[in-house]
Structure 1
Amino acid sequence: MINDIIHQDSYKDLVSKQIEEVISYLLKNNKEFSITANLDALKFSPELPTSIKSQLAKFSLYILANYTFTTITVKNGFLSFEAGFGSENFGSTVTVPLYSIFQIIIDDSILYLNPIATVDKFNKDPKSKSLNIFKNNPKNQDLIK
């Protein structure tokens, strides 16, 4: 069964290496591309305002072209780039774990598809899970207010 494969850490590591090789190939050949990535695993620095982040889909499209393309780095299992968000073009550096990239797209065609990006155990922040468990316990309601 596919879940037996895509939930394994060793397969996640394999996919990360493949994605890194594909992106390195595109960068070496100066080919702009887009990605869709699992928002749950992304980091924004500075953090996006809630008004902007709430508008992003779980698998959002990021077009890595022009200035954004020139800011791409791939290091230690992560893709980073600078981008502007919202109508005010709020600037932020986006850091994406390679395994959370769902698609690599060129000219509206999918070049690479990654099922690992849909696996919550790899893409959810364990701290947020703990916080949600804490918040959902009725005995903790007085502590949250």
Structure 2
Amino acid sequence: MKKLKVRYKEFILVKNIMENIEIQELLQKHCKEIINSFISKDIDFSIIANISNSSFHPKLPSDLQDSLSKFSIFSLAGYTFKSAHIKDESLCFEAGFGKDNFGSLVKIPLNSIFQIIKDDNIIFINTSATFDNIVKNPKNNSMNLFKSNPNNKKFT
């Protein structure tokens, strides 16, 4: 029982660290720098992303959407790589899905990217992407704005 309590405390500590806004911002910045570096150097790569907050335009047909898992891998090579760019703190790229190669513009928030992979080597990992209640846009979080005001310190 004691070992279980220790593991639970460790889990809570890690969860608190990963939910920390400053840590999230550092991870997002690092992710952005790696992706921008790969794109500028023409280095193709893959990502594993939590697609819960991702968007597809046009929307994927329901059979294709249902075939994606919560954590999906995307290989950015060829045309998909050439279309890749970062916009509004999200990785955007065009990709084809399914046997008919249904085309869609994919937009994945940087803080939803769990891993960046190159040739089966993990280059970057963001464990905060695994938490469902993670703040997806830390800079626009109203609680952060509230806390950042020195006059509100007595309320936090």
Length-normalised TM-score, structure 1: 0.82
Distance in 2, Cα, partners of 1:75 & 1:54: 26
Aligned residues: percent identity? 42
Bigger Rg over Cα: 2
Note the residue ranges of structure 1 that are not aligned, 5 or more in a row.
Answer: 125-145
Q: Deviations over 1:63-118 (max 9, x none)?
A: 00000000011122111000000111110000000000001000111111111110
Correspondence 1:14 to 2:26: yes
RMSD over equivalenced CA pairs, Å:
1.3
Question: Alignment partner for residue 55 of structure 1, among 64, 67, 73?
Answer: 67
Correspondence 1:80 to 2:92: yes
Moved beyond 4 Å, runs of 4+: none
Map 1:1-145 to 2 at 5 A: 1-122=13-134
Amino acid of the residue matched to residue 74 of structure 1? I
Q: Deviations over 1:8-29 (max 9, x none)?
A: 2222111111100011111121
Aligned to 2:29, the other structure's residue is in SS state: helix
Aligned to 2:69, the other structure's residue is in SS state: coil
Note the residue ranges of structure 2 that are not aligned, 5 or more in a row.
Answer: 1-12, 137-156
Aligned to 1:95, the other structure's residue is in SS state: strand
Structure 1 residues 34, 123: CA separation in 2 closer, same or farther (over 3 Å shift)? farther
